[in-house]
Amino acid sequence: MQSILKLVFVFLAAFSSAACAGPKKVVFVSGKSVHLWGDHEHAIMCSELSDMVNRCMAGKVRAEWLDTENLGGLETLEDADAIVLITEGEGAHPFDSKTDVLKRLNERGANIGAFHYSLMFNGKADNAALDSLVGGHYQKGFSYNPFYEASFKITGGHPALNGVKDFGYYDEWHFNIAFSNDKNRKITPLLRTEVPDKIRRRRSAPEAVQAEYGKGKLETVAWVAENPNGTRGFGIMGGHVPWTLAQKDYRKFVLNMVAWLAEIEIPQNGFDAEFSSFDSVASRIKKPKRGDYEYYIKDWREFDAKCRAEN
């Protein structure tokens, strides 16, 4: 009888602990954008993604958005289970010379992911910190950041790819990433593409990029990292403009990556949620209109419409 009561007590304690744990807290971090109208709209990206995560992962994840440009305080990161950086890089990075903050949060168990330009710092110590958190970084003079049409063949095998089908689109896909050489860190490429040779032939391309001309090398532009301390990280090199989230398979991939970072189960068909309309996103951009505004907005409006027609 005592054995049965003990088993019941253990079960109830475990159930109570799980119930009290509550949803995982994910914080999307944006910063000031130093790019032209429409480019690197970090605040909009974070707002959209936090809303989508709260809708499609309700009860499992509680997403928040930290706007470091207008709010500044980092206190909300202290109890975050996962942190996603969508910011400028180099000297405009909100964690420039402050990656010790991210490392401290990671040491207490926070998983960290990063998009696009936020994977680039000026200082060696900051870039080394990124390697320890997410598995790699954009290295000036080695990595490259042109616009080109990328195409991705999805082979499966990782939960972040659940429900994601082959896709591709034109974006500023940074590549030739400097990955961590720590053998105790597991880095798994998830999105790989063959960069057009015409890109490698450009004079602005680093020597390491030009050296792969004609070899058909597949470049990793999105990956996950499993760190020696038991934490997780990811890097995604696309996402130059918010409208890239209109592409259904890219959007599903991004949401799955956030779920993986938060350590929640990803359904077989993956996560998805509706993305705001083109005009709704455009209306929230506060920067002065760019010189090529008419040409620029026409291209991205057409891209958005094409993606929604395929949804």
pLDDT tens per residue across span 178-205:
999 999 999 999 999 999 999 999 999 9
171 domain-assigned: yes
Task: Count the neighbouring beta carbons within 10 Å of the beta carbon of residue 254.
Answer: 28
Task: Count the neighbouring beta carbons within 10 Å of the beta carbon of residue 101.
Answer: 13
Tell me the average pLDDT across 133-146.
98
User: What token pair was written down for 132?
Assistant: 């320890």
More confident position, 237 or 157: 237
pTM: 0.93
| CATH code, domain carrying 119 | 3.40.50.880
26 domain-assigned: yes
Query: Is residue 245 classed as helix, strand or coil in its secondary structure?
Result: helix
8 domain-assigned: no
> 111: domain range?
22-310
4 domain-assigned: no
- Gyration radius (Cα) of the chain, Å: 20
Q: Give the strands of the sheet with 218-226, arranged side by side.
A: 61-67, 24-30, 82-86, 111-115, 232-236, 218-226, 186-194
Whether residue 34 is predicted with pLDDT greater than 60 in this model: the reply is yes
pLDDT for the residue 69: 87
Query: Is residue 180 classed as helix, strand or coil in its secondary structure?
Result: coil
244 domain-assigned: yes
Whether residue 261 is predicted with pLDDT greater than 60 in this model: the reply is yes
Counting the structural domains of the chain, the total is 1
Write the DSSP symbol of residue 144. Answer: B
More confident position, 195 or 5: 195
Residue with the two structure tokens 């049409």:
149
Contact of 113 with 236, CB cutoff 8 Å: yes
The gap between the terminal CA atoms of the chain, to the nearest Å, is 58
Tell me the average pLDDT across 64-92.
93
pLDDT for 46-68, tens place per residue?
999 999 999 999 999 999 999 99
* Whole-number percent of the chain with pLDDT over 70: 93
12 domain-assigned: no
pLDDT for the residue 112: 98
- Lowest-confidence segment of 7-16, 254-263, 291-300 by average pLDDT: 7-16
Whether residue 37 is predicted with pLDDT greater than 50 in this model: the reply is yes
pLDDT for the residue 120: 98
Q: What is the rounded CA–CA span in Å between residue 17 and residue 14?
A: 5
Contact of 96 with 121, CB cutoff 8 Å: yes
Which contiguous run of DSSP H or E holds residue 99?
helix 99-107
* Whole-number percent of the chain with pLDDT over 90: 89
Whether residue 40 is predicted with pLDDT greater than 70 in this model: the reply is yes
Q: What is the rounded CA–CA span in Å between residue 138 and residue 277?
A: 31
Whether residue 28 is predicted with pLDDT greater than 50 in this model: the reply is yes
Whether residue 271 is predicted with pLDDT greater than 90 in this model: the reply is yes
pLDDT for the residue 48: 98
80 domain-assigned: yes
Whether residue 82 is predicted with pLDDT greater than 60 in this model: the reply is yes
Which pLDDT band, with edges at 50, 70 and 90, does 11 fall under? very low
Which contiguous run of DSSP H or E holds residue 38?
none
1 domain-assigned: no
Residue with the two structure tokens 């960069």:
195
pLDDT for the residue 1: 47
Query: Is residue 301 classed as helix, strand or coil in its secondary structure?
Result: helix
